[in-house]
Structure 1
Amino acid sequence: MHLRFASAVTAALLVSGVGAKAQDQDCPDPGRQPATEALIALVESDPALQEQLTKSIALGQIINSDPQTNPVASLDDYYGFVDALVTYPPQNINTGIIDDGIRVSMDGKNYCNWNILDLLSYSYFLVDRQLTTDPRGQIQFENDAFSNWMRDVAVEWGKYLETPASAVHIPDFTSDPNFGDWYCPPEGGYKTFQDFFVRELCAATFPTGSRPVEGYNDPATVVAIGDSTSAGWWPISSTGKLVTTYDGVSQAGEMIKGQLYSNVYEFIDGKDGEKVLETFGSIDPTLFKNGTWTHQFLNVNNYHRLHVPVAGKIVYFKHLQAGVRMKSGWAEARETGEISHYDPQDTADWQFGQTRMVIGIETADHGLVVISPMGMAQVSSIVKRDWVKEGAMADKGWEFANFAFGGSDFVVIFEEQANFTLTVDTLAEPAPGAGVNYASSQQGQKYGCFGGVTTCDATPETPPAPPAD
């Protein structure tokens, strides 16, 4: 499928003044897009899909019926939303804030006035409603044809983000301090939104391409792979399952409480229906029985290059193309000064079935460690560095890949013998819907320790630069 991300749409946005403060501007009609026509054909050929989409939209209206923040109330509304989604130039308007300053902007059916995180989170809220009492009863999992259509849209929109037209609103982001002071814009500015999104650490401050790495010389210290927030750590069962609790509401209004058994071995090896894009080496995934699963996530304003958390030899690599799903809910404002918003929800089991890279690193003293960045929503591409080859030695802190608009999730898996302990600080207030609220980490900060202790070294050192690509 080819989506016509028409330059005329971007030109119309410029003429209408959407660049700086677009609120109160009517958006141009992008017209019916090929992606939308493909979806309409799917719906007309599949009565089950028509019913699923209609029900998911209806449940979304029960949760939030405000047309300013949930304007999709019918299938026709959804088709109009898709037209806007696939022609959307990313922007960052300041009309409200959440989470210490992340900007929020929603403007009904004027989708060109929405902020990028709001629009993407909303796009998954619409299809993330619980339709059955199965823990995986969302349309994203229930209908393979629809799931494939979503991936096509993500891939094609990613191509648009690599065109000069996508750069029109980059000043909205570079002028926002929440997008960091760690990068140095190039002379002449960023040429595409993708260039901005994968911006590097400023070479003048970080000459080897990495922040200082805590515990660089201590083999027992594990560091954060990037600027991210921990979602926690969980035991893996003796049969290789990650067991997580589930609490949701079905379309019929029934509460769904129980457990979801996700297969860690399949996460590492891949499963039927997942396309292998590149692979080398081999490992025995059963080494991770009774091991530990950890999960970190990245927000839209984070640094999106990825660094090795432990030193060792690369013995396994597999790049798997699968789903581009995301879990998204509606969060009411929690405190004065914030506003209600769509909330990407990063639960421990949502990574299964996602597009991902799986890399096995053999450490000297603590067994095999698997590191896995994964795509989420329209953030589904991962680009590895050329030095990542079978048998290559990886130094702690070396950059090994980046997300191309996207990717917002990262998993690290440890063997039982590693006896890994998470050491990230926790915050006093609970995380909404998740319990433990972890402090954010910067790339290279101490993340945990091998050996069942918390006292591994945290002395910062600057690592050498990785091999040049």
Structure 2
Amino acid sequence: MIGWHDLKPAYIVDAVRDLVKRLIVVRGDDASSREVQTNATLNFSVHLRATFASPKVLEQHHLTREAFDWAHRECPPSKVLNIPILNFVPTQQAKRRRALIRAVESLSIKQGLTYDAPQSAADIPGFIELDNLKVDEISNLLDSFKAFNEFFYRKLKKSARPIEQPDNPYRLVSAADCRMMAFETVSDAACLWIKGCEFTVARLLGDVYRAEADKYTGGALAIFRLAPQDYHHFHSPVDDTIGPMTYIDGEYYTVNPQAIRTALDVYGENVHKIVPIDSPQFGRVMAVCIGAMMVGSIETTVNEGDFVKRGDEFGYFAFGGSTIVILFEKGAVKWDEDPIINGKASLETLVRVGMGIGTGRMIFAINPGPEGEAQSFKAVRDPAIAKGVVLFGCVLVCGHASGAQETYLFKFIPIAVGH
């Protein structure tokens, strides 16, 4: 007789998901019925996880690019239970909900202070052993860390995270050591992964950049989720100039996938910092650094006007899990195939800083020089111009940089310049 322990993990997870989807506790389309239904479904999901409490069922699945095999990390019931706790409190019970939120915020601050204390350094060896961290990658000696938090946002040797195609500015690279999700549009992300009822690009960008939200609504989106054991510095995915940064105060919900896939708008409600990065190859890219449960701070290490290259650090998180959401304008990036395939299956892809994850797609205007030689070029943001129209003596070309040869693949459009 075949038992749960004989089945493949993916089969069990899919079966549980299907069972939860088909669960109907309350029939009705009014707001109260929907909320009761959502809360009941979340409770039932937690109950199922506790019932089938084997590593196979409780593991979270990630596809590692390096080995192309399944990498499993156990997710104990205690961790699962703390994810949707705030969702079990109906939004109408504002006082109770607010009290819970404040308790989480207080706990995050206290935990940060605890890990800043000198005695917390005693936890470092156990943390290294538990997560099998590679100490030879760390730039400092272990005994130089005077508190656990110092180790948590440790720096790595530059050689530990080489940049793929270092001379090709059109090669988009990972911003962090993380579990990444990539989507071709924000709508795809909302359909497949981000389930927050109130999630919008405008809400994520806040008041300062709300006017720019429309530029990103039809564009690509990437989510870089850092777990506690990860290297917690984040790096620029493109060559760029840093724009005016803005900090948005908020909550400290967990950024675990179970929370992201509930009705709660974790990204929009959590504390976050907007870092605009202006790239000649990708246009204006919005990096949204999001704090989470047990994260005391989001630190940026760059200033407005600084130029950074791909792989250069621009900040770090203090203790806890955390996330970076990166938004691109429509048509600016073409993702590599594997993160797109994984994302459609609701699977995260394990990547490290500097790994290639996509390619820039731009249109250029070339100013012809003597005997037709190109003297200069500039990016043209309107894709409609790519049909061979000649404006003001500029020959238009279409192409992008790609491939191991690190060459630019341009197709010149031979059109005589008119009067």
Q: Distance in 2 between matches of 1:148 and 1:448?
A: 39
Structure 1 CA distance, aligned partners of 2:87 and 2:164?
Answer: 39
Report if the CA contact (8 A) 1:424-1:439 is conserved: no
> Post-superposition shift, 1:194?
0.6
Instruction: Tell whether 2:230 aligns with 1:306.
Output: no
Match of 1:439 in 2: 349
Q: Secondary structure at the match of 1:316?
A: coil
Partner of 2:86: 127
* Counterpart in the other structure of 2:182: 232
Q: 1:138 to 1:314 in 2, by over 3 A?
A: farther
Aligned to 1:425: 338
Contact 1:236 1:242 in 2 (8 A): yes
SS in 1 for 2:311: coil
TM-score (structure 1 length as normaliser): 0.57
The AA in structure 2 aligned to 1:398 is D
Q: 2:123 aligned to 169, 179, 199, which one? A: 169
The answer on 1:319 being equivalent to 2:244 is no
CA contact (8 A) 1:127 1:138 kept: no
**1:175-216 alpha-carbon deviations (Å, 9 max, x no partner):** 24633353255252532111221111136x45xxxx211133
Q: How far off its partner does 1:289 sit?
A: 3.7
- Residue of structure 1 equivalent to 2:146: 191
Give SS of 1:448's match.
strand
Task: Give CA deviations for 1:43-83 in whole Å, capped at 9, x if unaligned.
Answer: xxxxxxxxx9xx9799758843999999xxxxxxxxxxxxx
Whole-Å Cα distance in 2 between the matches of residues 403 and 162 of structure 1? 14
CA contact (8 A) 1:101 1:178 kept: no
Asked if 1:415 corresponds to 2:362, the answer is no
Task: Quickly say closer, same or farther: Cα 1:455–1:176, change in 2 above 3 A.
Answer: farther
Q: Alpha-carbon deviation of 1:299?
A: 1.8
What does residue 213 of structure 1 align with? 163
1:371 match: 287
Match of 2:18 in 1: none
**Is 1:235–1:290's contact at 8 Å kept on the other side of the alignment?**
yes
Provide the secondary structure at the position in 2 that maps to 1:260.
Answer: coil
Kindly provide the CA deviation profile for residues 378-408 of structure 1, in whole angstroms up to 9, marking residues without a partner as x: 12521111xx222221211111101101342
Asked if structure 2 preserves the Cα contact closer than 8 Å seen for 1:307 and 1:398, the reply is: yes
Alignment check: 8 A CA contact 1:232 1:295 kept: yes
- Where in structure 2 are the equivalents of 1:279-294 lying within 5 Å? 284-294=212-222
Between the aligned residues of both structures, percent identity stands at: 19
- Supply the distance in 2 between the matched residues of 1:358 and 1:178 (Cα, whole angstroms): 33
Relative distance call for 1:289 and 1:97 in structure 2 (3 A) is closer
What is the SS of the residue equivalent to 1:244? helix
Return the letter of the residue paired with 2:234: L
SS at the partner of 1:194?
Answer: helix
Distance 1:437 1:409, change over 3 A: same
Cα distance between partner residues in 2 of 1:247 and 1:293: 11
Of 155, 158, 164 in structure 2, the residue corresponding to residue 200 of structure 1 is 155
Which has the higher Rg, Structure 1 or Structure 2? 2
Q: Residues 320 and 104 from structure 1, CA distance in 2 versus in 1: closer, same or farther, beyond 3 angstroms? A: same
* CA positional deviation for 1:297: 0.9
- 2:97 maps to 1:143: yes
Q: Which amino acid aligns with 2:153?
A: V
Of 266, 285, 302, the match for 2:203: 266
Q: CA deviation at 1:417?
A: 4.3
CA deviations 1:339-361 (Å, max 9, x no partner) are xxxx7554496312111111111
Q: Which has the higher helix share?
A: 2
Q: Paired residues, what number?
A: 318
Superimposed CA distance per residue, residues 429-468 of structure 1 (whole angstroms, 9 cap, x where no aligned partner): x78xx724243111011111121899724679xxxxxxxx
Contact 1:356 1:373 in 2 (8 A): yes
Return the alpha-carbon distance in structure 2 between the equivalents of residues 66 and 443 of structure 1: 33
1:178 correspondence with 2:132: yes
> 1:337: which partner in 2?
none
TM-score (norm: length of structure 2):
0.63
Report the CA distance between 1:148 and its aligned residue: 2.8
Structure 1: gaps (5+ residues) = 1-51, 71-95, 107-117, 249-258, 272-280, 329-342, 461-469
SS of aligned partner of 2:288: strand
Q: Secondary structure at the match of 1:188?
A: helix
- Which residue, 427, 451, 465 being the options, matches 2:361? 451
Q: 1:447 to 1:427 in 2, by over 3 A?
A: closer
Whole-angstrom CA distance in 2 between matches of 1:266 and 1:322: 12
Residue 140 of structure 1, CA deviation: 9.8
Q: CA deviation at 1:163?
A: 0.6
Q: Partners of 2:50 and 2:116 in 1: how far apart?
A: 32
Alpha-carbon distance in 2 for matches of 1:233, 1:369: 15
CA drift at 1:285? 3.5
